[in-house]
Amino acid sequence: MPLPDHKLIICGIPELPHHAMLGVSHVLSIIDTHEPRPPALDEFYDIDHELIRFDDVVAEYPGYEACAPHHIERLLDFGERAHARAGSHMLIHCHAGISRSQAAAGILMCQHAPGREEESFLRLLELRKHGWPNTRMVEFADQLLKREGALLRGLQAYRVALIAAKPHLRDVIRNIGRGHELPE
């Protein structure tokens, strides 16, 4: 099965105004629990908008709401709606366009392309020049889609390719406390 051919944009909140007039049909917002709805979303017209709130953490920490399976169920429901519309044009954003939105894009590309998980995650390299998808989100999606680790292997292939192209990111990832996610 080929990868879905929907147009896809990944960005952070500061970039939203640049995409408002590009014919986007579906917007997925994944933002922190206490972050206000970005006012720039008011510039998007006639869209299917899904707002999901959880913090960008990869484990349970006091004072933060980590991603849970019900968040990924909502993400997958959004993907079903976008997939059902011919010619859909999705925009996925989180705060910075680096972790949650990258994970969501990879998950949505995998959703209707079983067996193409590695290709789906490697496509992220073309869609956004930098990113480090949220592992917790991918773990839950892998379980919900019953892919037996295929999404996690796709994520690992992406990380290997990204670090090969940009080795300096190893230090950045370590400095943000996610060094355990680095490929060997």
Range of the domain at 176: 7-181
Pairing of strands 26-31, 7-12: unpaired
Please check whether residue 133 lies inside any domain of the structure: yes
Please check whether residue 41 lies inside any domain of the structure: yes
Torsion of CA 184, 97, 35, 182, to 10 degrees: 0
**Is 146 in contact with 140 (CB distance < 8 Å)?**
no
Please check whether residue 100 lies inside any domain of the structure: yes
Please check whether residue 98 lies inside any domain of the structure: yes
In 10 A of CB 50, how many CB atoms?
Answer: 19
Tell the burial category of 33 from Cβ atoms under 10 Å away from its Cβ (0-12, 13-18, 19+).
exposed
pLDDT of residue 4: 61
Please check whether residue 1 lies inside any domain of the structure: no
Tell me the CATH number at 28.
Answer: 3.90.190.10
Please check whether residue 2 lies inside any domain of the structure: no
pLDDT of residue 23: 92
- pTM assigned to the model: 0.95
Q: Give me 79's structure tokens.
A: 């993907």
Render each residue's pLDDT in the chain as its tens digit; 184 residues.
455 667 999 999 999 999 998 899 999 999 999 999 999 999 999 999 999 999 999 989 999 999 999 999 999 999 999 999 988 999 999 999 999 999 999 999 999 999 999 999 999 999 998 899 999 999 999 999 999 999 999 999 999 999 999 999 999 999 988 888 898 7
- Number of domains the chain contains: 1
Please check whether residue 102 lies inside any domain of the structure: yes
> For the chain, how big is the Rg over CA atoms in Å?
15
